[in-house]
Structure 1
Amino acid sequence: MGHEDPNSEGFVYFLTKDYLGFALEGSRSGPATNSVAETLRRSSSSLQKHEQEFELCINKLNVGSIEEAKRAFPILMREVYSDGADNWGRLVTLYAFCGVLVRHLRRQGIPEGQLIEDIAQCMAQHTWTHKAAWIKENGGWEKGFVEYFRQKSPRFTYAKIAAITGIVAAFSFVIYRH
């Protein structure tokens, strides 16, 4: 991942793949390959206390396979971004959700390699297709994202609160409608 252009689809794919491996293996996954991957790991991990809400959404949408996850993913994206607003907190929360999703699917017996590959491709494609322009306009992965989630930044706390509020509300809406 260290050799990919941070403004490329390949970078987003390897970043996603790194995070999903970390979500499955935790500290056993090895060190992050760059500051963006480290920031994604740290910021997404801070949302783990909301794993039950994510699991409830996964169960309500009856996601028990990779195919069902791919079917449910666009539904969640529409709800999370229904107000048209983008922010780093929402993007991180979606990655955190995908981390919970791969752990859920692993418990269903799906091999880890297939899980990471397929979900990484799906999430990376969505991120690249729908969020690449916004990411670039907001400083890119290396500057905008890393700077936004610097551990000592007061915005880190506000971003977590905004992310959780928005995504839990969206997930609750999805659960209610389905």
Structure 2
Amino acid sequence: MGHEGPDSKGFVYFLIKDYLTFALEGSQSAPATNSVAKTLRKAATFLQGIKKQEFELCINKLNVGSIEAAKRALPVLLREVYSDGTDNWGRLVALYVFCGVLVRHLRRNDIPEEELVEEIAECVAQYTWTHKAAWIKENGGWEKGFVEYFQHDNPGFVKYFQQKSPLLSYAKLAAITGIVAAFSFVIYQH
């Protein structure tokens, strides 16, 4: 799947799977195989460094303990994050960082890493491909738009992340937590 062009669902899946593996293994993971994966790793590491507490708080509030619960919660969460209609590269990276924190959290529940990465990557790739592929293409695609946006000489993303949380404002966190809790309650009741 990783050998497909950057405008394919397979590429998105490969990219997310690479990042989730990196999120679990850190410096022990294999080197990134292309410039997009390398850029995602760097941007995600930067974002997680300055927003770590917010991501951890969100994961703890959601209280997701299984792959099945995560797969039910992620589409609801992703729709809520984008409910204001705003798309940008920083927000996309923030979503992937959230998923990286989620897989590390779920790993503590003795879920096999390979299954965890596969399932979450497939869910997030499907969402990205279905809902964000057109925006990604309109904004230069992965290889041009994404990689260029996160170049060292483009300080826009640093300022963006430092000024506000692109993903996890406290109001957004409360809304997401409430939606996921209500959704989970309905699922478990039927």
TM-score by length of 2: 0.87
Aligned to 2:176: 174
Cα deviation code 1:68-109 (max 9, x no counterpart): 111111221122111111000100000000000000000111
Distance across 1 between alignment mates of 2:140 and 2:109: 39
Deviation of 1:150 after TM superposition, in Å, equals 0.7
In structure 1, the partner of 2:165 is 165
Percent identity of the aligned residues? Answer: 67
**Residues 6 and 140 of structure 1 are in contact (CA less than 8 Å); yes or no, is this contact kept in structure 2?**
yes
Q: 1:73 maps to which residue?
A: 74
Gaps of 5+ in 2: 182-190
Number of residues of Structure 1 aligned to a counterpart in Structure 2: 177
Query: What residue ranges of structure 1 are gaps of 5+ in the alignment?
Result: none
Larger Cα Rg: Structure 1 or Structure 2? Answer: 2
Deviations 1:119-163 (A, max 9, x none): 00011111000000000000000000000011231113134236x
CA contact (8 A) 1:2 1:34 kept: no
TM-align CA RMSD: 1.7
CA drift of 1:3 comes to 2.9
What is the CA–CA distance in structure 1 between the aligned matches of 2:154 and 2:125, rounded to whole Å? 27
Normalized against structure 1, the TM-score is what?
Answer: 0.92
Residues 70, 122 of structure 1: 8 Å contact kept: yes
Partner of 1:139: 140
Asked if the contact 1:54–1:100 (Cα under 8 Å) also holds between the matched residues in 2, the reply is yes
- Structure 1: 4+ residue segments shifted above 4 A: none
